[in-house]
Structure 1
Amino acid sequence: MKIIEQTISNYIFSNYSNDSIHFSQKGHEQVVYFQDEATGLQAIVGIHDTTLGPAVGGLRFFEYQDERDALKDVLRLSRGMTYKASIAGLNCGGGKAVIMKKKGMKLTEALLRKYGTFIERLGGHYITAPDYNTTMEHMVEIAKSTRHVIGLPVASGGSGDPSENTAYGVYMAMKATAKKTFGRDCLTGKKIGIAGVGKVGYFLAQLLCKEEAIVYVADICAKRLQAITEVCKVEVVAAERLCSRPLDIYAPCALGATLNSATIPMLNCAIVVGAANNQLADQDRDGKLLLKRGIIYTPDFLANAGGLINAVTELEPRSKDLVKKRTEQLYTICLDVLDKAAKTARPTQEIAQEMAIARIQSIKNAQLGQ
């Protein structure tokens, strides 16, 4: 069956010149579209920057409204991965992939193998991993066609589920932000709302309950809520009400773009620290809105870097103790970002991005002999 693979040309980006999200994200090294008629596969891979190493990023399986929305997601997420890897001190770049889901579509072995064949053709410039609606088991199928995959089960020689380490990184970021805001990093008695108790939110809730925080949870999935209430003392809140509930810390841990011009005025908290990617619907506008409201925001790509730290151990094998130590360093990095933002009265998102870009630029300058 005919396979079509092509790099999306510059004219596509020019078509989005009136779309601030797309226009602001030019500069990707490569954006590739791939489809296979036999399996129904339609995928887009975005490689944002490989200065620090091969682009690493998850594979998202999602039902988009159209290809434009899928491309938007790839561009935003891959850029965020570049910042995440850089600010965490990792030796990899940023990338992302999406498979466009159609109604009733499943990730079959044939489809995943074909996706793996496509990833192999990229020659190691992009390394794929689990993400929204994809699992370690899916990576096992993909690995049958490519070497360029991480996030495999321990039994398959991988690093295992990164969710627990992602949650631990968010927990470290919460403690650092609490230290900056309240003068101490103890979370005992703090009112914390977790929006989304999938795997990461589930582990995060357990960490917070262990420290005797007062935890509220919301999720659209009743089974997830039941699972967390069986292991933790938490209070379930309707999803649409959690962001306006009086809280010390609000933690978005589901899909992105939930912090926007409609929801930010509703927030009734001192801090926002969560695991979701791309929490700000508009990076520039919404970061300033949070600053104007006096809400301290820890950038998502910093707070949720623990999962990436865990996954890249498959590229540079390290012990679990070293992974935990690297994740704990997010505490210090977070304090540095918050201190710089406070001194300059600028959004934390801008400061963190500048720090990430500065590291990349220093490597580029060294490579050029500057």
Structure 2
Amino acid sequence: MSVFDHKEFDNHEQVAFFSDKASGLKAIIAVHNTNLGPSLGGCRMWPYANSEEALNDVLRLSRGMTYKAAMAELKLGGGKSVILGDPRLHKTPEMMQAMGRFVEQVGGRYITAEDSGIAVSDIQLMAQNTQHVSGISAKYRYDGGEADGNPAPSTAYGVFVGLRASVEYALKTDLKGVRVAVQGLGHVGFRLAKHLHEHGAELIVTDIYPQGVEKAVEEFGATAVHPDEIFDLDVDVYAPCAMGASVNQDTIRRIKAKVIAGAANNQLAEESLGEVLRQKGVLYAPDYVINAGGVIDIYHQRILSTAQAMRSHIEGIADNLTEIYNRSSQQGLPTNVVSNKIAEERFKK
């Protein structure tokens, strides 16, 4: 099947495939839209079942970055890259250096950054062969702490303020005693759990890797459940912070939460599920709106800014969500459709 015929193609400007035999690198870069500026998006390394699954992921993710940047009012476009392989087993310095050469070949139309399976140290290795990287020379951190270039703290903080605003809107309460099911305890999910714990939320957590779960149980008093059980819990909030499409035709019938607000990209397996959630009375925080803290962080690192300006910009995620929720209620439309309309007004020419 041609990439042009792919169901997630959506008029991407460029999709590039790269293979480096010496390092074993197999990767894809997708540039969705550059109307507002060069495309920015993290590099993800994941043990995809096959290349079709990887292509589907990178196309959806890059499109989401276009909408994310537009909703966050950044002068950036949307792009993404994926590396096929298990980062815990297959990642090598040589592979990261080869990825830098791949990014350089795209000629500045795509700027890469840290994402799932990729650390700041990996981006530094890529930077040996390309200047089109971000997140390795950070000057600010949203909380005034020491900046190390990792955007995950800002992503987690943005998801936290967005989740809190969503709970206030839907449940008319603060976070104290609110039951939150967190799916995925990686760089962002664990930090989100920490914020929630500090504000009195009751946590139920899961992950395919046990280390983060054990740490959350020990440090936050969280309750651990099997990954498949997370959808069936009697909770107030479901916070997906792992891979996409966790809200699908199967799980949507099982989710009892009244709010879905998490860090994962592409949480809805199909856009039509937004209307199903609306009819069920579930408030859905559009993923690319609530998880924009990381790209906001990276943007502020690239301009003359301050830690306070970055923090204020991230906290604006709550206002964006409230505007979407109000329009959704007024227009009788699902929140994902409303947010798409707002974003498209900003980036389409």
Same fold by TM (over 0.5)?
A: yes
Equivalent residue number for residue 178 of structure 1: 167
CA distance in 1, matches of 2:227, 2:86: 26
Identify which of 197, 200, 203 aligns with 2:188: 200
Instruction: Give percent identity, aligned residues only.
Output: 35
How many Å apart are 1:89 and its aligned residue?
Answer: 0.9
Deviates more, 1:210-219 or 1:137-146: 210-219
How many Å apart are 1:104 and its aligned residue?
Answer: 8.6
CA distance in 2, matches of 1:318, 1:200: 24
Question: Where do 5+ consecutive residues of structure 1 fail to align?
Answer: 1-9, 365-370
How many Å apart are 1:151 and its aligned residue?
Answer: 2.1
Identify which of 41, 50, 56 aligns with 2:25: 41
Equivalent residue number for residue 341 of structure 1: 328
What SS is found at the alignment partner of 1:164? helix
Identify which of 85, 92, 95 aligns with 1:108: 92
Q: Is 1:236 aligned to residue 220 of structure 2?
A: no
CA distance in 1, matches of 2:77, 2:53: 23
How many Å apart are 1:137 and its aligned residue?
Answer: 0.5
CA distance in 2, matches of 1:153, 1:232: 32
What SS is found at the alignment partner of 2:80? strand
Q: Is 1:295 aligned to residue 282 of structure 2?
A: yes
How many Å apart are 1:233 and its aligned residue?
Answer: 2.5
Q: Is 1:270 aligned to residue 275 of structure 2?
A: no
Deviates more, 1:214-223 or 1:265-274: 214-223
Q: 1:154 to 1:344 in 2, by over 3 A?
A: closer
1:160 maps to amino acid: G
Identify which of 151, 155, 169 aligns with 1:166: 155
1:135 maps to amino acid: A
Equivalent residue number for residue 125 of structure 1: 109
Q: Is 1:351 aligned to residue 338 of structure 2?
A: yes
2:240 maps to amino acid: P
How many Å apart are 1:183 and its aligned residue?
Answer: 2.9
Identify which of 276, 289, 294 aligns with 1:307: 294
Q: Normalising by structure 2, report the TM-score.
A: 0.93
CA distance in 2, matches of 1:244, 1:65: 26
CA distance in 2, matches of 1:61, 1:122: 19
Q: Is 1:29 aligned to residue 1 of structure 2?
A: no
2:4 maps to amino acid: F
Q: Normalising by structure 1, report the TM-score.
A: 0.88
1:259-293 deviation per Cα after TM superposition (whole angstroms, max 9, x unaligned):
00100110111100000111111122x11221121
1:44-96 deviation per Cα after TM superposition (whole angstroms, max 9, x unaligned):
11000111111001111122222222111111000001111110111111000
How many Å apart are 1:153 and its aligned residue?
Answer: 6.1
Confirm or deny: 8 A CA contact 1:159 1:313 kept in the other structure.
no
Question: Where do 5+ consecutive residues of structure 2 fail to align?
Answer: 140-145
Equivalent residue number for residue 249 of structure 2: 261
Q: Is 1:97 aligned to residue 81 of structure 2?
A: yes
What SS is found at the alignment partner of 1:68? helix
Q: 1:229 to 1:153 in 2, by over 3 A?
A: farther
1:239 maps to amino acid: P
Q: Is 1:217 aligned to residue 208 of structure 2?
A: no
Identify which of 97, 118, 126 aligns with 1:134: 118
Q: Is 1:227 aligned to residue 186 of structure 2?
A: no
Identify which of 256, 280, 287 aligns with 2:268: 280
How many Å apart are 1:97 and its aligned residue?
Answer: 0.5
1:339 maps to amino acid: N
Confirm or deny: 8 A CA contact 1:197 1:225 kept in the other structure.
yes
Q: Is 1:191 aligned to residue 182 of structure 2?
A: no
Q: Which has the larger Rg?
A: 1
Equivalent residue number for residue 143 of structure 2: none
